[in-house]
Amino acid sequence: MRIGELAALVGVTTRTVRHYHHLGLLPEPERTPGGYREYRVRDAVLLARVRRLAELGLSLDEIRDVLADDEGRELREVLTELDADLARQQDAILARRARLATLLADADLNPDTTVAPDFGDLLHDLHPAGSAFAALDRDMLSLIDTGADPAAREQLMAMFRPLTDPDARARGHALTARMDAIAGADPADSRVSALAVDLAAHLPAEMAAAMVASLDEAETGRWLDLMTSELTPAQAEVLRLMVTTLKERA
């Protein structure tokens, strides 16, 4: 038997056979005077055994270990471990398909794949279009959202619910407009401190508490720096003053 026939017999390519030779998974057979590998039935059996293990999902390295280890107890260990690994993969696929299903069901309503559907709607409603500050705020919130686990996200949504009421939304839009208006103002402008106080008053109590608390945690405390570094001096000052106000209130 030459290599093509062996490969066809076992259902692999000749490249695969040579690869297994190279890795030492299959012994090199005798050569004909012309240099061709000459296989016998035994080689086909050995190759078929390697394929069986490979199709179970073992890596070629693992297969070599198993074959070297006199096929005793090593095999059970590896197979058991492999089964556990497959179980994990099953769970992972299940989770991914679940996320896919909600995404697909919602894709028509909400073409923004950045963020969970419900939270995406919320962000979309909350802020007026065409505002640089609103864009930044939306980015920050969607970032926080993507980094959160489902429980934390639910908590986050709950905190925002008071702001989705029509009256609150109108007040929010007005505040956003004032933030845009002072973009070029002096940080000492009297409108700056006034806006900070009004913003602090506008935030629901729970949200204010969460924001203050987050400032002391290394992982979440950076949001204020991140935002101020992308705002004008006056706008940054508004945020800093607002946080000060929130702290005093706590």
Q: Which residues bind DNA (CB under 7 A)?
A: 2-5, 12-16, 18-19, 32-37, 54, 59-61
In the list a copy of itself, DNA, none, the entry touching 89 (Cβ below 5 to 8 angstroms by class) is a copy of itself
Q: Which is nearer to a copy of itself, 136 or 159 (CB)?
A: 136
Q: What one-character-per-residue DSSP string does 152-183 give?
A: HHHHHHHHHGGGGSHHHHHHHHHHHHHHHHTT
Cβ neighbours of residue 183 closer than 8 Å, sequence gap 6 or more: 132, 232, 234, 235
Site for a copy of itself in 194-223 (CB under 8 A): 222
Q: Which is nearer to a copy of itself, 56 or 212 (CB)?
A: 56
Region at 249 (left for phi over 0; alpha for psi -120 to 50; beta for the rest): alpha
Rounded Cα gap, residues 220 and 227, in angstroms: 13
Taking residue 115's Cβ as centre, other Cβ atoms within 10 Å add up to: 20
Q: Build a one-symbol-per-residue string for 114-153: x at contacts with a copy of itself by CB under 8 A, - elsewhere.
A: x---------------------x--xx-xx--xx------
DSSP 148: S
Choices 27-35, 36-44, 159-167, 192-200; region in contact with a copy of itself by CB under 8 A: 36-44
Contact with a copy of itself (CB under 8 A): which of 31, 52, 124, 249? 52
CB 243 within 8 A of CB 212: yes
CB 23 within 8 A of CB 14: no
Please report, for residues 14, 27, 41, the alpha-carbon distance to residue 63 in angstroms, rounded to integers and kept in the order given: 19, 14, 21
Contact with a copy of itself (CB under 8 A): which of 4, 11, 24, 221? 11
Residues that bind a copy of itself (CB under 8 A): 1, 5, 9-11, 40-42, 44-45, 48-49, 51-53, 55-57, 71-72, 75-76, 79-80, 82-83, 86-87, 89-90, 93-94, 96-97, 99-101, 103-104, 107, 111-114, 136, 139-140, 142-143, 146-147, 222, 226-227, 230
